[in-house]
Amino acid sequence: MRYVDEYRGADKARALAARIAGLCAPGRSYTFMEVCGGHTHTIYKHGIEDHLPENVTLVHGPGCPVCVIPMGRVDDALHLARQPDTIMTSFGDMMRVPGGSRSFLDAKAEGADIRMVYSPLDALRIARQNRDKRVVFMAIGFETTAPSTAVTVQRAAAEKLDNFSVFCNHVTIIPAVKAILDSPDLRLDGFLGPGHVSTVIGCHPYRFIAAEYGKPLVVAGFEPLDILQSIHLLLRQLAEGRCTVENQYARVVPWDGNPKALRALSDVMELRPSFEWRGLGTIPYSALRIREAYAAHDAERVFDVPGVRVADPTSCQCGEVLKGVLKPWQCKVFGTACTPETPIGTCMVSSEGACAAYYNFGRFTRTAVREATRT
């Protein structure tokens, strides 16, 4: 088996692969979605599918925060960055994400003051050191990073740093999963739940997936062994006719999440009535905005944000990849017009994007080899 000796606990991995095979009913196929881009990365890097029986398929979900930012929001951010006496800040992942015509990096080269930060607190420090400038932090991410933005806004308010604002693009994972469950395109048998998001939200919010949709979900860690164990837990539930939420990553994820983080979130942010996701379209109550009480730190209130809407490029099929309908290599421009150096779609930009992960690691996966030899 390829790579298996590199795993921590290679013997355990082999034993698990055998148990997984034993749980699969002959003639039945199983499709599981890994929601989180971190899992996608592990799966391609370590060739996890090579250790699974042919009738078990993993499909990739929407859990890559950079990938789901629509081009219009990038253009809105660039509009803010071009305002006089303004410094735009964001995470490094954001820099190469294409907008309608430009990325952050392009705008920076044209003279906009755009700075990469590791933490929202870095952006706050820039605001503290540049009181004559307006400093905007373009906030992206699921519930993993949203509490950090919330605490930073609380801090800005406490320090009365009214030259600091957040262009809030935080999204929430549950409505995205629900949109996928409601989509007719895909038949899933269960989910690998996101590890780090669950550190914040805990395991309770997933219960409707088991209760109302009849699909098991296992919150999974990020090592190859974690992924295999989680697939084993999903198959065991199906074999025993059970359907519930399990926590394979209990060594990091508390069942109740992080209550302090959730409190900071609900103090500073509230759900938007609707938000456009790249590829997935508009999903109601799926993203966060800054509450009125913190209006002075809300870039959408401080500035006049144009609200640009840009249709996704027709050649790019990120939407289908994000919904798990297409594998990266089935996209028409994958690896030709769209590469990590010249990305057309967001899935090729972020290292957690399915296309980038596959481009870098996955070229010899089971399915790819099978499809290549067929043509």
Partner 1 sequence: MCLGIPGEVVELVADQPDLARVSVGGVRRAVNIALLEGEGVAPGDWILIHVGFALSRIDEAEARAAMEFLEGIGQAYEDEMDALRESTTEGPGAG
Distance CA 108, CA 78 (A): 9
The enclosing H or E element of 373 equals helix 366-374
Stretch that binds partner 1, among 20-28, 146-154, 204-212, 234-242 (CB under 8 A): 146-154
Among 61, 62, 65, 70, binds partner 1 (CB under 8 A): 65
CB 199 → partner 1: shortest distance, Å?
Answer: 5
Q: Does 141 bind partner 1 (CB under 8 A)?
A: yes
Q: Does 37 bind partner 1 (CB under 8 A)?
A: yes
The enclosing H or E element of 139 equals strand 134-141
Identify which of residues 36 and 74 has a Cβ nearer to partner 1 in the complex.
36
Distance CA 364, CA 372 (A): 10
Cβ partners under 8 Å of residue 50, min gap 6: 1, 2, 3, 365, 366
Hey, what long-range contacts does 240-245 have (CB within 8 A, 24 or more apart)?
A: 242/216, 243/210, 243/214, 243/215, 243/216, 244/210, 244/216, 245/193, 245/203, 245/206, 245/207, 245/209, 245/210, 245/216, 245/217, 245/218, 245/219
CB 224 → partner 1: shortest distance, Å?
Answer: 9
Q: Does 284 bind partner 1 (CB under 8 A)?
A: no
Dihedrals phi, psi of 163, to nearest 5 degrees: -90, 5
Cβ partners under 8 Å of residue 250, min gap 6: none
| Residues contacting partner 1: total by CB under 8 A | 45
Among 91, 164, 275, 294, binds partner 1 (CB under 8 A): 91
Q: Does 93 bind partner 1 (CB under 8 A)?
A: yes
Q: Does 148 bind partner 1 (CB under 8 A)?
A: yes
Do 81 and 136 contact (CB within 8 A), yes or no? yes
CB 315 → partner 1: shortest distance, Å?
Answer: 26
CB 20 → partner 1: shortest distance, Å?
Answer: 21
Q: Which conformational region is residue 190 in: left (phi greater than 0), alpha (psi within -120 to 50 degrees), or beta?
A: left
Distance CA 313, CA 343 (A): 12
Q: Does 11 bind partner 1 (CB under 8 A)?
A: no
Stretch that binds partner 1, among 113-121, 205-213, 240-248, 301-309 (CB under 8 A): 113-121
Contacts with partner 1, 214-253, as mask; x by CB under 8 A: --------xx---------------------------xxx
Identify which of residues 265 and 318 has a Cβ nearer to partner 1 in the complex.
265
Among 70, 147, 190, 216, binds partner 1 (CB under 8 A): 147
Identify which of residues 125 and 236 has a Cβ nearer to partner 1 in the complex.
125
Q: Which residues bind partner 1 (CB under 8 A)?
A: 6, 8, 36-38, 41-42, 45, 65-66, 91-93, 116-122, 125, 140-142, 144-145, 147-148, 151, 196, 199-200, 222-223, 251-254, 258, 260-261, 264, 351-352, 360
